[in-house]
Amino acid sequence: MASKTLKLGLFLLGAVLLAGCRPSAPPTDHTEPADLAAPTAAQAPAADTPAVRPIIVDVRSPEEYAQGHLRGAILLPHTEAADRAAELFGDKDAPLAVYCKAGIRAENARQTLESLGYTNVTNLGGMEDASRKLGVEIVTDQAEL
């Protein structure tokens, strides 16, 4: 089962990377599937880096986020996406992977971000699906300390 999850995660990561593929320098570090979570938007690698990890964005409420979220996810409630995207994400070509509880708010956020000029936004659906697709665990705020 873990092998299938790993293969699916690698396949999806490759698809996201190919969507924004540009010539660039060779990778400088080895990225394992378990390392897919981006710690913060400020620490995310440049979009043209071969080992680019998507910036994981939780578009649920702060209360939902506190109850559990993907490790390394940035909280950006879908109702604030239009107002706060520029402060959180500098590069409009950076890969953004959005998720919520079931995928509806994530789709709204994806559309909002694309209307603002973000070119590489993926709706991962609900949190459980996003966790499986990226191979990133679900944690609470206390677990990340």
Average pLDDT for runs of 10 along the chain of length 145: 49 42 36 38 41 89 97 97 95 97 97 98 97 95 57
Q: Which pLDDT does position 101 carry in this prediction?
A: 97
Q: Which pLDDT does position 24 carry in this prediction?
A: 37
**Nearest-CA neighbor of 44 among 123, 140, 120?**
120
Q: Which pLDDT does position 141 carry in this prediction?
A: 74
Catalytic residue among 100, 106, 109, 127: 100
Rounded Cα–Cα distance for residues 103 and 127 (Å):
8
**pTM flag (> 0.85):** no
Q: Which pLDDT does position 46 carry in this prediction?
A: 40
Which residue, chain included where needed, has tokens 């080992």? 51
Rounded Cα–Cα distance for residues 133 and 126 (Å):
10
Q: Give the H or E element holding residue 130.
A: helix 127-134
Q: Is 77 exposed, middle or buried (0-12, 13-18, 19+ CB in 10 A)?
A: middle
Check if 100 is active-site: yes
Q: Which amino acid is at 142?
A: Q
Q: Is 120 exposed, middle or buried (0-12, 13-18, 19+ CB in 10 A)?
A: buried
The class that CATH gives domain 2-22+35-144 is alpha beta
* Domain chopping of the chain, boundaries: 2-22+35-144
**Nearest-CA neighbor of 7 among 133, 136, 138, 137?**
133
